[in-house]
Amino acid sequence: MNPLIVFAHPNQKSFGKGIVDTIVKASEEKGSNVKVRDLYEIGFDPILKPSDFEGFQSGKVPEDIAVEQENIKWADVITFVYPVWWTSVPAILKGYVDRVFSYGFAYEYVDGAPNLLSKVNTF
């Protein structure tokens, strides 16, 4: 199995980091090939830019997004670990979802309505 963990907390001593470490340990003990994408550690840029939209439309996805999309495609299961701030996810995680689960990768429009693509329907 290929579990992917997307972690979004700036404090490496947080309870959330403990959850990540526990998931990694349990997954590895079961023989899984686990990957962790620590959004703060990798310096993920959460800002959706006009150039991102141009790339999505032309099929030239920005490199940082393409790397994350390859991780998503690699994964059999994805676990998001994050704190709840102001009744929502941290901005860095919201930006990750906005940029990575993009048009042409996660969805397309069919007859004017969004349609999930099969790559993400398997989750």
According to the model, what pLDDT value does residue 107 have? Answer: 85
Closest by alpha carbon to 39, among 62, 15, 73, 16? 16
- For 80-101, the pLDDT digits (tens) are 999 998 899 999 999 999 999 9
Element (DSSP H or E) covering residue 79: strand 77-81
3 state SS of 80: strand
Range name among 29-33, 57-61, 67-71 with the lowest pLDDT average: 57-61
Q: With beta carbons less than 8 A apart as the criterion, state whether 8 and 40 touch.
A: yes
Fold designation for 3-121? Rossmann fold (3.40.50)
Token pair listed for 39: 């959004």
